[in-house]
Amino acid sequence: MGRKISYEPFFRTLKEKNISTYRIFKLGLNSTTYYRIKDGESVTIETIRHICEILDCDVSDVVECIEIQE
């Protein structure tokens, strides 16, 4: 078994805060970064910090580490 990073909390947080894709771009998130997250690709911890700042939330509201079954 292993673990991987999931960005599902990010999308839940956007929904809970009623923030559209358009609005998150206006708030300062780069579209390339958004689509990297949407595709499950890695982003830097600095990017996670920036997202937390934009959304006024904690890291756990953006990412989670989940167990994967092999």
CA dist., res. 68 & res. 26, Å (int): 34
Please report, for the chain, the start and end positions of each structural domain, with discontinuous segments joined by +: 2-68
Among the residues of the chain, which ranges form H helices? 8-16, 21-26, 31-38, 45-55
DSSP code of 17?
T
Q: What is the pLDDT of residues 13-62, one digit of tens each?
A: 999 999 999 999 999 999 999 999 999 999 999 999 999 999 999 999 99
The whole model's pTM is what?
0.90
Report the CATH number of the 2-68 domain: 1.10.260.40
